[in-house]
Amino acid sequence: MSPIDGLIVYIIHPLLNLLWIVVLVSVILSWLISFNVVNAHNQFVSTIWRVTSAITEPLLSPIRRILPPLGGMDFSPIVLLLLIGFVQGYVLGELMRIF
């Protein structure tokens, strides 16, 4: 296994999997807060919300500039999840074939 293969398999791919999970948690938590299922003033919920927002907002804000909310719905997390899937499936696969 070349160093590039090791970098992709052991570092980049798991980080993208973790990012995918964080985006999903952020979306679900935003729904739960919006529908008053969980209290945003709870310290644990607030901490999780701040951490997930700090991770996802720098990635979602450029997408939101291009794709505004349609009908009051924010589709930027879906676009981000599709981009992560594309990078994992196609880009990393091609990189492993090249090296």
Q: Give domain limits for the chain.
A: 3-98
- Give residue 78's pLDDT: 96
- Please state the pTM of the whole predicted model: 0.87
Q: In one letter, which amino acid is 30?
A: S
Tokens for 82, please give them: 């599709």
- Give residue 64's pLDDT: 94
Could you read off the pLDDT tens digit of each residue along the chain, which spans 99 residues? Answer: 677 777 777 888 899 999 999 999 999 999 999 999 999 999 999 999 999 999 999 999 999 999 988 888 999 999 999 999 999 988 888 877 776
- Give residue 93's pLDDT: 80
What does the DSSP assignment read for 34-61? Answer: HTTSS-TTSHHHHHHHHHHHHHHHHHHH
Q: Are 64 and 76 in contact (CB under 8 A)?
A: yes
